[in-house]
Amino acid sequence: MSSGIEHVLNELRRFDPPAEFVANARVNSRAEYDALYKDSIDDPEAFWAKMAGELDWSRKWDRVLDDSNPPFYKWFEGGKINASYNCLDRHLGTWRKNKAAIIWEGEPGESRTLTYQELHRQVCKCANALKGLGICKGDRVTIYMPMIPELVIAMLACARIGATHSIIFGGFSANALIDRNQDAQAKLVITADGGYRRGAIVDLKGAVDEALPKCPTVEKVLVVERTKKGCAMQAGRDIWWHDAVDSASADCPAEELDAEHPLFILYTSGSTGKPKGILHSTGGYLLGAYLTSKYVFDLRDEDTYWCTADIGWVTGHSYICYGILSNGATSVMYEGAPNHPTPGRFWEIIEKYKVNIFYTAPTAIRAFLKWGDQWPKAHDLSSLRLLGTVGEPINPEAWMWYREAIGGNRCPIVDTWWQTETGSILITTLPGAMAGKPGSAGLPFFGVQPQVVTEEGEPVEGMHSGMLVIRSPWPSMLRTLYGDDDRFKEVYWSKYEKQGWYFTGDGAFRDKDGYFMIIGRIDDVINVSGHRLGTMEIESALVSHPLVAEAAVVGFPHELKGQGICAFVSVPTGVNVGEKDKITLREHVAKEIGALAKPDQIRFTDALPKTRSGKIMRRLLRDIASGIETKGDTTTLEDFSVLAKLREDKEA
Ligand code: PRX
């Protein structure tokens, strides 16, 4: 953590938003933010009631917040609402009915635009098709798809009929599908015959076929024909999208759902091996996504907005689909890789669609920085007026490059801190109201009360880092871990149970201006290219291979990915291992979890450093993987020779 603090202390640059931006911004001064923030904290119920009034409810709530049974908070009880209605129908009676809702670009270069009216029509047809396949309110549907418009259509169709969707990132493997389908007890899987990634086809349907024998609850598979390269279709189980959806009726009124009705489950990594099914509600979640989209991105009707995330992650849920469409804005969606066919692809897309607001991840920015200025320079990026980042801490060098090379020194940058669990952005700068500082997320969004505290829960004052907690509930907070209330309490609420605070799992630092700088995870979660991976998950994948006796996985600083994965692996006695076994193990992890979890380094060792009580000393391994001298206490180490050997065995 210390290096992060040093860098924030040395970071004196701050950039006020340009006057033209401020002149038209929704919140255009610090004083206005302060007043709104104060209102939201002094009387949260009145504030949230007022904001919730901007959504369309079929029945108004009886009570804004029920906090009688913490941490199981309920928001807008008695209220009836539908997320799909709020993203679609409510725009149809306005001039927006023929406005582009989604502008889609396929990796091979196709372009499709769906107006609000057309998207609504497709969603209704899909919703009716789902009903025809036996899907009812409350059922779980997993979605395992490429970034094509049918993905948004499928999620809004689920929301329309009250089925809870669980989207699984297309880069995850068949095994990840098994875990998630089993945990969610999914009834239907929606997938495609494939999707394009860097010119190759990702065989999504193949992974579904491999997973389904172990997913007894799944009855049907709905398959979009994206690539037309053909795939096996199992009679009685698999149905083509074009057969089921195209012929379905376009008349499907949105179900009136309780505000607390579960909108989606999204699995994310935690410190233990089993992914956590983060459960989000309908009303509170939608309000958070809607309001942050409006204020943080300063969304206006004439904007073309592009978030480059995959909808398989929460960023895509909130800031490609729910938050953006509920505002009636135009959302660009791109199927493929940032560097296909050239590292200029993103800039080409910005120029082509005249994108005004661009939201991406630090890992992508670092890659672009490395690929060089010539790529953005070859394109007209003058349409851009606001830039955003999300997913991991951004190093000041990358921040400055983003500002200069992409933003032409004219666009404010919003560094947005939030989590799958929080549903929407909790800490950031509001672009017209406050200065941006390289590497700092900023101030709390309305209604959010973050605090940096010590292990014991004492507020940290001055130039020290500590644990980041949120002191009071907010509407888009997770409601529980699907099917596991105890784990929900344990993971997020037990550390500061007495105070009733939500524990984020992140370390943070608050500077003299009150800005929060997020240092990163303090648990056994590593953040690889903005994607959370649990070290335990990767360790379990490794030990399931016969070459592995024991494994310990740690993160280390990585130039492009933020953090890389280093696996220390001890092999069974008598087994000889070499370079090719490292490849075998990497492939094994890719098969068990997905390519994103492949270790960057594998170090074979006879033994792992342990305490006398047998606990692996990860702190030491982290130092070794990062190539730094171990400063901390090693007196509890059982066998000192292990350490020396591990250091010798450096990987190139
Ligand atoms: O460690 C923080 C980091 O990403 C974690 C949340 O990951 P996930 O649930 O996958 O959601 C990512 C997209 C919201 C956080 O606990 N993180 C997220 N945004 C930032 C960040 N770290 C620093 N700065 C950010 N802006």
Residues of the chain by 3-state class (helix, strand, coil), percent to 5: 35, 25, 40
Give the CATH number for residue 557: 3.30.300.30
Span of 63-72, 491-500, 568-577 with lowest mean pLDDT: 568-577
Last residue of a domain, one of 468, 492, 522: 522
Residue at 100 is within a domain: no
Number of Cβ atoms within 10 Å of the Cβ of 234: 11
pLDDT for 282 equals 98
247 and 358, same domain (yes or no): no
Note the pLDDT tens digit of each residue in 626-641. 887 766 666 666 666 7
Residue at 364 is within a domain: yes
pLDDT for 241 equals 98
User: From the CA of 527, how far away is ligand 1's center (Å)?
Assistant: 8
Residue at 90 is within a domain: no
Q: Which of 285, 417, 437, 445 to mutate to test the pocket of ligand 1 (most atoms within 8 A of CB)?
A: 417
552 and 425, same domain (yes or no): no
Query: Stretch 245-254: mean pLDDT, rounded?
Result: 98
Note the pLDDT tens digit of each residue in 299-351. 999 999 999 999 999 999 999 999 999 999 999 999 999 999 999 999 999 99
Note the pLDDT tens digit of each residue in 56-90. 999 999 999 999 999 999 999 999 999 999 999 99
412 and 459, same domain (yes or no): yes
Last residue of a domain, one of 466, 491, 522: 522
Residue 184 Cα distances to 141, 221, 383, angstroms: 8, 16, 43
Note the pLDDT tens digit of each residue in 399-422. 999 999 999 999 999 999 999 999
Span of 139-143, 433-437, 493-497, 558-562 with lowest mean pLDDT: 558-562
Rounded CA-CA distance 596/252 in Å is: 39
446 and 329, same domain (yes or no): yes
201 and 338, same domain (yes or no): no
The ligand 1 atom nearest the CA atom of 415: 26
User: From the CA of 495, how far away is ligand 1's center (Å)?
Assistant: 20
**Cβ(420) to ligand 1 under 6 A?**
yes
**Cβ(521) to ligand 1 under 6 A?**
yes
**Cβ(506) to ligand 1 under 6 A?**
yes
**Cβ(570) to ligand 1 under 6 A?**
no
Residue at 44 is within a domain: yes
Give the 3-state secondary structure of 526-580: EEECCEEEEHHHHHHHHHCCCCCCEEEEEEEEECCCEEEEEEEEECCCCCCCCHH
**Cβ(303) to ligand 1 under 6 A?**
no
Q: Pick the closest to residue 622 from 612, 630, 613 (CA basis).
A: 630
**Cβ(314) to ligand 1 under 6 A?**
yes
**Cβ(518) to ligand 1 under 6 A?**
yes
**Cβ(392) to ligand 1 under 6 A?**
yes
Q: Which of 360, 392, 414, 519 to mutate to test the pocket of ligand 1 (most atoms within 8 A of CB)?
A: 392
Note the pLDDT tens digit of each residue in 16-39. 999 999 999 999 999 999 999 999
**Cβ(269) to ligand 1 under 6 A?**
no
**Cβ(270) to ligand 1 under 6 A?**
no
pLDDT-derived band at 1, boundaries 50, 70, 90: very low
Note the pLDDT tens digit of each residue in 255-289. 999 999 999 999 998 877 788 999 999 999 999 99
517 and 570, same domain (yes or no): no
Locate all alpha helices (DSSP H) within 226-338, ordered by sequence: 241-244, 283-296, 314-316, 323-326
Query: Stretch 610-621: mean pLDDT, rounded?
Result: 82
The ligand 1 atom nearest the CA atom of 427: 26
The ligand 1 atom nearest the CA atom of 518: 23
User: From the CA of 312, how far away is ligand 1's center (Å)?
Assistant: 15
Residue at 98 is within a domain: no
pLDDT for 633 equals 64
Note the pLDDT tens digit of each residue in 447-485. 999 999 999 999 997 777 899 999 999 999 999 999 999
pLDDT of 651 above 60: no
Residue 475 belongs to what domain range? 1-82+256-522
Closest Cα to atom 26, ligand 1: which residue? 417
Note the pLDDT tens digit of each residue in 180-193. 999 999 999 999 99
**Cβ(276) to ligand 1 under 6 A?**
no
**Cβ(422) to ligand 1 under 6 A?**
no
**Cβ(416) to ligand 1 under 6 A?**
yes
170 and 283, same domain (yes or no): no
Locate all alpha helices (DSSP H) within 133-230, ordered by sequence: 149-161, 174-184, 204-211
User: From the CA of 515, how far away is ligand 1's center (Å)?
Assistant: 16
Last residue of a domain, one of 217, 240, 255: 255
pLDDT for 617 equals 83
% of residues, the chain, pLDDT over 90 = 86
620 and 570, same domain (yes or no): yes
Closest Cα to atom 22, ligand 1: which residue? 392
Task: Report how many domains make up the chain.
Answer: 3
Task: Tokens 């036996």: give the residue.
Answer: 134
Give the CATH number for residue 449: 3.40.50.12780
**Cβ(492) to ligand 1 under 6 A?**
no
Closest Cα to atom 5, ligand 1: which residue? 419
Residue at 99 is within a domain: no
Amino acid at position 384, single letter: L
Give the CATH number for residue 204: 3.40.50.980
Residue at 261 is within a domain: yes
**Cβ(428) to ligand 1 under 6 A?**
no
383 and 420, same domain (yes or no): yes
Closest Cα to atom 23, ligand 1: which residue? 393
Strand (E) or helix (H) holding 118: helix 116-132
Q: Which of 506, 510, 523, 525 to mutate to test the pocket of ligand 1 (most atoms within 8 A of CB)?
A: 506
Number of Cβ atoms within 10 Å of the Cβ of 56: 13
Burial class (CB in 10 A: 0-12, 13-18, 19+), 69: exposed
pLDDT for 2 equals 42
Residue 533's DSSP bridge partners are 526
Note the pLDDT tens digit of each residue in 536-558. 899 999 999 999 999 999 999 99
Check: pTM over 0.85? Answer yes or no: yes
pLDDT of 207 above 90: yes
233 and 311, same domain (yes or no): no
pLDDT for 652 equals 36
Closest Cα to atom 11, ligand 1: which residue? 419
User: From the CA of 350, how far away is ligand 1's center (Å)?
Assistant: 25
**Side-chain half-sphere of 604: how many Cα atoms within 13 Å?**
16
504 and 433, same domain (yes or no): yes
Residue at 97 is within a domain: no
465 and 490, same domain (yes or no): yes
Query: Stretch 513-523: mean pLDDT, rounded?
Result: 92
